[in-house]
Chains A and B, each alone.
Chain A
């Protein structure tokens, strides 16, 4: 019995130490990457291509998800509100939910898979095939070359992708209200404007910036720590999606508690 308890305690202790070590290493990577910002001659040429890869290429999947989210939100709002609350509140519900929560969070979770896993696999492959070492031997700062442009590109592009997703989500909800719920445009817009605050949009932008930094930062962290060939690359990509998704939800709660 005593052996089992001590074994369990050792396991918990070991995992705690590993987690704390990981947090320390992530912090060290963050600080070193911040220091690498001064090597602008290395990261600047890669910023635009990364903005295209991380941002522009993510627009279709983000819009696809936003479209159907808007449709479902509109239908569910109508189902919930009919007979109890004026129907124009469908516009309120769709607008508020898309701007404050579903637009930023669903887009970020989707991009954790698309962008985070992609970065992790790419950098992981470069690590296990010694391409990262090769960069260093050629006098490049690997953080300035690999990490900084990706994180900056995500910080700049995530808000744009999220705002597009929000706009399309509201648009699809609007069309659904007109076509399937027999609402008029003035009714939907009335609801949409009812509790709208410009701050809501800034709130979405702040969340998107933090989600972009988390998704790419976690992808770079696990990618650069990849070991043991193809299996390690797969493991890093999986960890990236899991950890980034968890951090997105934690940050989501944090921003709601601190900014609303």
Chain B
């Protein structure tokens, strides 16, 4: 297996975000972690790339235990992982082409000409050809997300991590991004891990979907298994029904939206 998280726990002060989360992503598949905002999806993703260390549990990528890596080891691992940030996280003082070429400059044997060629290829792949000399502030939200994707795929990573890739986008742009995610899997053979609360997008791009609830993996299955599941919490989330998700009477019980655990 290529990405494996076992019994991962993480707390920030008194707030326990992850309480024994376990999941696997097999080579070549795209998996989605779904859950409401604030449930810890982005925190999970940051563990995979070593931006956060778990309080307990293990995170293994490509056979390497991520929390045990030193800075050099992390830098080497990160050359195999592309990370698409929720708000793109483009360097706003650089052009789009410079942003896309950033990861390539760290790779041995890449001269300026080779980088420029690869940048053009990646921008064309995300349908931003000819926009390399613009600055992030000159792009729309969807274009910025695509530029972020181009930057992530430029070093030809084995893994791509997508943090809310379609949040805040219109339905058409969402479809464009979803198709790009599928192309990454089908044409480039990239193993993908998507965190999202957009179920339409998750059904479209994921081979397997995991519901993160109460800091744990509540349910894992294929999109058809998710659709057919009887678990009320999962159904509540998929259908957007708070009575199912939190339980009837949740308003009267003062349940903290996004932070209540109904147990696995």
Contacts and interface: CB of A to CB of B under 8 A. Distances in A.
The prevalent SS among residues of B at the interface is: loop
A129, A134, A137 — most chain B CB neighbours (10 Å): A137
A130 B89 contact: yes
B83 interface: yes
A165 to B, nearest CB: 29
Contacts of B71: 141
A139 B76 CA distance: 7
B106 interface: yes
Contacts of B92: 129, 131
B78 interface: yes
B101 to A, nearest CB: 10
A126 B49 CA distance: 19
B92 to A, nearest CB: 8
B83 A139 contact: no
B83 A141 contact: no
B78 A139 contact: yes
Contact of A134 (B74, B75, B91, B155): B91
A133 B89 contact: yes
Interface string A111-137: 000000000000000100111011011
Contact of B106 (A133, A134, A140): A140
Contacts of B78: 136-139
Given A138-B106, A139-B106, A140-B106, A131 B79 contact: no
A129 B91 CA distance: 9
Nearest to B163: A130
Among A131, A139, A140, the most chain B Cβ lie within 10 Å of the Cβ of A139
A185 to B, nearest CB: 49
Interface residues of A, number: 12
A25 to B, nearest CB: 16
Interface in B51-95: 51, 71, 74-76, 78-79, 81-83, 85-87, 89-92
B236 interface: no
B46 interface: yes
A129 B86 CA distance: 10
A131 B91 contact: yes
A138 B46 contact: no
Contacts of B85: 130, 133-134
Interface string B1-27: 000000000000000000000000000
B180 interface: no
B102 interface: yes
A91 to B, nearest CB: 47
B103 interface: yes
B12 to A, nearest CB: 11
B103 A138 contact: yes
B83 A137 contact: yes
Contacts of A138: 78, 102-103, 106, 151, 155
Contacts of B155: 138
Given A133-B46, A133-B51, A139 B75 contact: yes
Nearest to B75: A139
Contact of B81 (A130, A131, A137, A141): A137
A84 B103 CA distance: 70
A134 B151 CA distance: 10
A140 B79 CA distance: 10
**Which of A130, A131, A133, A141 lies at the interface centre, i.e. has the most chain B CB atoms within 10 A of its CB?**
A130
B81 to A, nearest CB: 7
A139 B104 CA distance: 10
A136 B83 CA distance: 10
Contacts of B90: 131, 134
A186 B71 CA distance: 62
Most A CB contacts (10 A, CB to CB) among B46, B79, B89, B90 go to: B89
A226 B1 CA distance: 37
A141 B91 contact: no
A137 B75 contact: no
A239 B229 CA distance: 53
Given A133-B51, A134-B83, A136-B51, A141 B75 contact: yes
B137 to A, nearest CB: 12
A134 B50 CA distance: 12
Nearest to B52: A133
A131 B148 CA distance: 11
Contacts of A126: 91
Interface in A129-173: 129-131, 133-134, 136-141
Given A129-B92, A140-B75, A140-B102, 5 more contacts: A130-B87, A131-B90, A133-B51, A134-B91, A136-B49
17 contacts: A129-B92, A130-B86, A131-B89, A131-B91, A133-B46, A133-B83, A133-B89, A134-B85, A134-B89, A136-B78, A137-B78, A138-B78, A138-B102, A138-B103, A138-B106, A139-B78, A140-B102
